[in-house]
Every structure is written in C-alpha cells, then in structure tokens.
Amino acid sequence: MARLLRSLGRLVALFVLSVIALQIYFAARIALMAVVDPQSTTFQRSEAWRLLVEKQRIEWAQQWVDYARISPQLKRAVIASEDAEFTEHAGVDWDAIERAWERNQRAEERVQRFNAQQIERKGSKAAPREARVVGGSTITQQLAKNLFLGSERSLARKGQEFVITLMLEALLSKQRILEIYLNSVEWGEGVFGAEAAAQHYFRKRADQLTPLEAARLAVMLPRPRYFEKLPRSAYLSGRANIIATRMRRAELP
C-alpha cells in the first residue's frame, strides 16, 4: 500500500511539474511576442493541414503589416463588433459571458420547443434542430485560443485559455494584442490577417479601408468561411450598417 501511495504521489508530482513547465513555455512564447511577430498560430497550422488533406493543396494569403498600417476604421469596427470593452477589461469580460450564457439558454429553450412541435407533427422522422451557441469571448481570449489551443470544447481547454489570456494581458500591451489579432485572425478559407482580407475582398491595402468596408470585415469574423460564400447576404449588409454606427464610440488602445 505504501509503495502504491509513493507511486501515485510521484505521478501527481510529475503531472504538476508538467503543467507548470507548460505554463512557463506559454509565458516565454508570449514574452517573445512583445518584440517578435509570431510566424503562425495553432489554428493556422491546423487549417493548413485540413486544406492539404481535403483539397491536396494549400491556397494561402497572409501578409503581416504593422499596427500603423492597419486602418483605424478596421480597428474600431472589430472592437465595436467583437469586444466593445476591449480597452477596459483585463482580458475576460464577465458581463459579456453572462449575457452570452443567458442568450444561449433562451435559444436552447426555443429550439427545444420547436423540436417538440416538429415531433408532434412529423413523428420520429422530424430532423432535430440544434441551438446556435453564442460566445462571450474577448479579443484577447480569441487570440489566446488561436495562438496555442485547438478547437475542442472542454473545461480543461477553457481553463488553459483563461490562463493564457491573463498572460497576454500581463506581458503585452493592448495595442500589441490587437496588432497580433488583426494579423492572424481568419477572414476566409486560407485568408488570414487584415492585409490579406482587404486585398481579397476589396483589392486594396488594409490602411485604405472605408468605414463600411471595415464594418463588413468585422461582421464576418465569427463565421468568415460562411460569409465568404455569401458576400451579398442581407444579414451581412444590415449588421455592417449597425457596426458602422457604433464605430465612433469604439476606443482604440
């Protein structure tokens, strides 16, 4: 029994040391990003592999541009659309998470009622509908996930995301966080970063975007590959007009 307990203790100690070593690795990588632009993210590498497997080729567009060479209109649009309190919070917007949870609960209840009605009408042949999950992640949280983590959903991954988010906020300025985010976020299949997105959709540089063009790009962010196929979507146009009116109130770092 004593030998078993000692073995178990060693395993626990090894696990704890591994977790600590991983956090040190993340912190060192983030500290380096203060002066060195990241070449790629975990999400980008997974997307490159997906394209290679599914299409046997990788069509890729990305060009890093400095913060000053990205239109202030795009910066304001992304903040207005994705994270209105970006300059105020410390990485996690708890109010936004609570609001997202409440919206998801209401959506789940509506979908359950709809599915119940469909079963009454069509019986077991009715195809169930799933509720669309709305996230409350900040720009910093999205960057943490894209830089280092996969797309799986689990408590462990979410906990690691929070830790990396706090590291990003502690080791990088808000301006640097936004700069890395805008240069690495996905804007279509194989389209990453503001410069590639501006060239892909509007045939111009990222510092030449108009307010409405910037708003359209910002609205695409939650589902870029979906909206890439529906550039004339009524939702995209309507939502872009709403974001364009909010951009004036968006505070830049």
For every one of its 253 residues, what pLDDT tens digit does the chain have, with 9 covering 90 and above?
Answer: 677 777 777 888 888 899 899 999 999 999 999 999 998 999 999 999 998 888 878 889 899 999 999 999 999 999 999 999 999 988 887 666 656 555 655 545 555 565 555 555 665 544 444 444 445 689 999 999 999 987 777 888 888 999 999 999 999 999 999 999 999 999 999 999 999 999 999 999 999 999 999 999 999 998 999 999 988 889 999 999 999 999 999 999 9
66-89 burial, b if ≥16 CB within 10 A, otherwise e? eeeebbebbbbbbbbbbbbebeeb
Is 120 in the same domain as 177?
no
Output the pLDDT for position 130.
45
**Both 178 and 86 in a single domain?**
yes
102, part of any domain = yes
Residue 169: CA count within 13 A, CB half-sphere? 19
Separation CA 7–CA 13 (nearest Å)? 10
- Would you say 31 and 25 are in contact if contact means Cβ atoms under 8 Å apart? no
> Is residue 218 situated within a structural domain?
yes
Residue at 196 is within a domain: yes
- Residue 25 lies inside a defined structural domain of this protein: no
Domain count, the chain: 2
In sequence order, what DSSP letters do the residues of 95-158 get, joined into one string? HHHHHHHHHHHHHHHHHHHHHHHHHHHHGGGSPPP-PPPPP---HHHHHHHHHH--S---HHHH
The enclosing H or E element of 188 equals strand 186-188
Question: Rounded to whole angstroms, what are the CA distances from 20 to 156, 164, 188?
Answer: 14, 13, 36
In a domain, 32, yes or no: no
Task: Tell whether 102 and 113 lie within a shared domain.
Answer: yes
Residue 159 vs residues 98, 111, 134, 155, 156: alpha-carbon distances, Å: 17, 29, 19, 6, 5
Regarding whether 85 and 108 lie in a shared domain, the answer is no
Question: Tell me, what's the pLDDT at 133?
Answer: 44
Structure confidence at residue 180 (pLDDT): 97
Neighbours of 197 (CB within 10 A): 28
For residue 132, the model assigns a pLDDT of 46
Judge whether 158 lies within some domain: no
Identify whether 183 is part of a domain. yes
Tell me what pLDDT residue 182 has.
Answer: 97
**Domain containing residue 61:** 38-91+172-253
Residue 90: per-residue pLDDT: 84
